[in-house]
A and B are shown apart, each in its own frame.
Chain A
Amino acid sequence: ETGVTQSPTHLIKTRGQQVTLRCSSQSGHNTVSWYQQALGQGPQFIFQYYREEENGRGNFPPRFSGLQFPNYSSELNVNALELDDSALYLCASSLGPVSYEQYFGPGTRLTVT
């Protein structure tokens, strides 16, 4: 059974640029949630994707957007990067939106300069 994988591991971008982060869900999991973890903080819910549609969103601006593909993998896109977007971005997969257990990937460390 393959766990949740994320790419890239690290990324450095300049303010104003756009970034795409990728996530492959655990085998059999059709739901992917994205979280942002700033230094010294707990993960914050960005949004969730189920059946290729957004299924719940946290308090993040529209420049944070996502996609889910038929194979359940997912992308997180961030436009017009700001310095405060520097964080660890985590994706978590689950068996469905009503499954309370979420399994996390190792994360992508994004640095915005």
Chain B
Amino acid sequence: DQQVKQNSPSLSVQEGRISILNCDYTNSMFDYFLWYKKYPAEGPTFLISISSIKDKNEDGRFTVFLNKSAKHLSLHIVPSQPGDSAVYFCAASRFSGTYKYIFGTGTRLKVLA
């Protein structure tokens, strides 16, 4: 039972263009969502978060959009840079005394110079 899904295993984007990474979830009780970036041989690096009471959060080149009715969130990277090439994971949690995140399977982003 995959509660958090990233249906695109990989994505290639030209440098300078927009990268859009998508994530779908099934549990409407999730109240916090995170995006992580992972380089080979490193642990995931926290990128950006969004609470279920918001529909958008921006941090520099990164923006996360949340559509609760569709149970869908997306990460936009503008402009994309070669250093953004990594695996991106979305994660979701329902707060129950703590956050126990459920992760998607990841999307490998390749930004072409």
Q: Chain A interface (Cβ within 8 Å of chain B)? A: 4, 6, 31, 33, 35, 40-45, 48, 50, 55-56, 58, 90, 92, 94, 97-107
Contacts and interface: CB of A to CB of B under 8 A. Distances in A.
B49 A42 contact: no
Contacts of B106: 42
Given A40-B105, A42-B105, A44-B103, A55 B46 contact: no
B43 A4 contact: yes
A71 to B, nearest CB: 20
Interface stretch (B12-20, B62-70, B74-82, B89-97): B89-97
A104 B42 CA distance: 9
Contacts of B34: 100-102
Contact of A45 (B36, B44, B102): B102
B104 to A, nearest CB: 5
Contacts of B49: 100-101
Contacts of B42: 106
